[in-house]
Amino acid sequence: MTAPALDVVGLVKSYGGRRVVDELSLQVRPGTVLALLGPNGAGKTTTVEVCQGFRSPEAGTVRVLGLSPRDPALRPRIGVMPQAGGAYPGLRCGEMLHLVAAYAAHPLDPDDLLERLGLQEVARTAYRRLSGGQQQRLSLALAVVGRPELVFLDEPTAGLDPQARHATWELVEALRADGVTTVLTTHLLDEAERLADNVVVVDHGRVVAAGTVQELTSRGSTGQLRFASTPGLDVDQLLTALPPGCAAKESPAGQYLVEGPHGAAIDPQVLATVTAWCATHDAMAADLRIESRSLEDVFLELTGRGLRP
Ligand SMILES: Nc1ncnc2c1ncn2[C@@H]1O[C@H](COP(=O)(O)OP(=O)(O)O)[C@@H](O)[C@H]1O
Ligand SMILES: [Mg+2]
């Protein structure tokens, strides 16, 4: 196996005696996108700031491209997009990007990046006059223009409009196609689902789940069968017809939900039982669909609360 691009083992960090990162471990394979997913305050930014060498760990080890986060040899090899972009307020947007590109041995084309991120029309605008979303996209461009091997993007699309969000996602996908490793923090499930090869779900500084999106959403109660029918069907009686361990409920009236035995997937037998049972009760099972869980369901199950900030 190749060495991980980022290797965090047992990371601990406290503020004022409170652990905000609590024995957190994660590995990122080279050339993949990892999403560190969790609600606000989960410890995502603190974790990446330790990885970037901005904060020292209290316990645990961090290796970035095989080096200590504070090793100066890392600087040209990693790109950092901070959560709230800092910059040189008087410089023009385009100048800033060209300047940073000039420090790099093999930079990306700054003008191409401006165009991809919809910043061409503000290339001659001073940083401080850019809108928040434009500053954020410039911050992303600055993080990647040096063609780093590993980029850290902290909530890269928070507050962006849908068009800018898609441009950002496409850039991350292009970087991956180019072999760049990306560590992305986000509280947005659709962002993690779309971009991440692997997701590490954090809550209160701890890893509560990790895996591919597919692994996470197919673990546990995979399938739910939903259908619409006559309101007031006797779901308790339906349950007696189903294999042991299934769950069924009506909510709201006329909308039914059936879960597989003991959280297992909806299998052909469950499906056949439901439709046959409806038929014997002279009811039509309409809009019948089998859905896998979303990351949101997974998060709710793991933490008992939603992911909204
Ligand atoms: N410099 C700091 N001093 C004190 N508390 C902090 C500091 N930075 C972050 N925290 C606290 O640590 C917790 C984790 O914060 P953070 O890592 O920013 O989480 P996230 O990025 O997941 O929202 C929060 O409760 C936050 O208030
Ligand atoms: Mg944060």
pLDDT digits (tens, 9 = 90+) for 9-41: 999 999 999 999 999 999 999 999 999 999 889
What is the total count of domains within the chain?
A: 2
Q: Could you tell me the distance, in angstroms and rounded to a whole number, from the CA of residue 46 to the centre of ligand 1?
A: 6
- Do the beta carbons of residue 93 and residue 127 sit within 8 Å? yes
For residue 103, the model assigns a pLDDT of 84
Which residue among 26, 46, 183, 202 is best mutated to probe the pocket of ligand 1, counting the most ligand atoms within 8 A of its Cβ? 46
Residue 258 domain-assigned (yes or no): yes
Residue 266 pLDDT grade (very low, low, confident, very high; cuts 50, 70, 90): confident
Do 254 and 205 lie in one domain? The reply is no
For residues 225 and 181, membership in a common domain is answered with no
Q: Which atom of ligand 1 is nearest to the CA of 38?
A: 22
Look up the domain containing 168 and give its range. 6-217
To test the pocket of ligand 1, the residue of 20, 26, 299 to mutate (highest count of ligand atoms within 8 Å of its CB) is 20
Q: Could you tell me which residues come within 8 angstroms of residue 104 by beta carbon, excluding any fewer than 6 positions away?
A: 76, 145, 146, 147
Contact between residue 159 and residue 171 where contact means Cβ atoms under 8 Å apart: no
- Residue 49 sits in the same domain as residue 189: yes
Mean of pLDDT values over 245-253: 91
Q: For 47, left (φ over 0), alpha (ψ -120 to 50), or beta?
A: alpha
pLDDT of 303 reads: 74
What is the structure's pLDDT at 86? Answer: 57
Q: Is residue 73 part of a domain?
A: yes
Q: How far is CA 185 from CA 46, 78, 163, 189, in A?
A: 11, 16, 20, 11
The ligand minimizing its distance to the Cα of 81 is: 2
pLDDT given at position 58? 96
Same domain, 38 and 111: yes
**Does residue 299 lie within any of the structural domains?**
no
- Ligand 1: residues with CB < 6 A are 15, 20, 38, 40-46
Q: What is the CATH number of the domain that holds 210?
A: 3.40.50.300
Q: What is the mean pLDDT of the chain?
A: 90
What is the reported pTM?
0.79
Last residue of a domain, one of 162, 196, 217: 217
* 187 CA: nearest ligand 1 atom: 22
pLDDT at 112: 96
In the chain, the amino acid numbered 17 is G
Locate 50 and state its tokens: 């330790």
From the alpha carbon of 49, which atom of ligand 1 is closest? Answer: 17
User: Which of 143-147, 249-253, 260-264 has the lowest average pLDDT?
Assistant: 260-264
Tokens of 113: 């990046």
Which of 104-108, 151-155, 288-292, 302-306 is modeled with the greatest confidence? 151-155
Tell me the pLDDT band of 88, cut-offs 50, 70 and 90. Answer: low
What confidence tier does 90 reach under pLDDT thresholds 50, 70, 90? confident
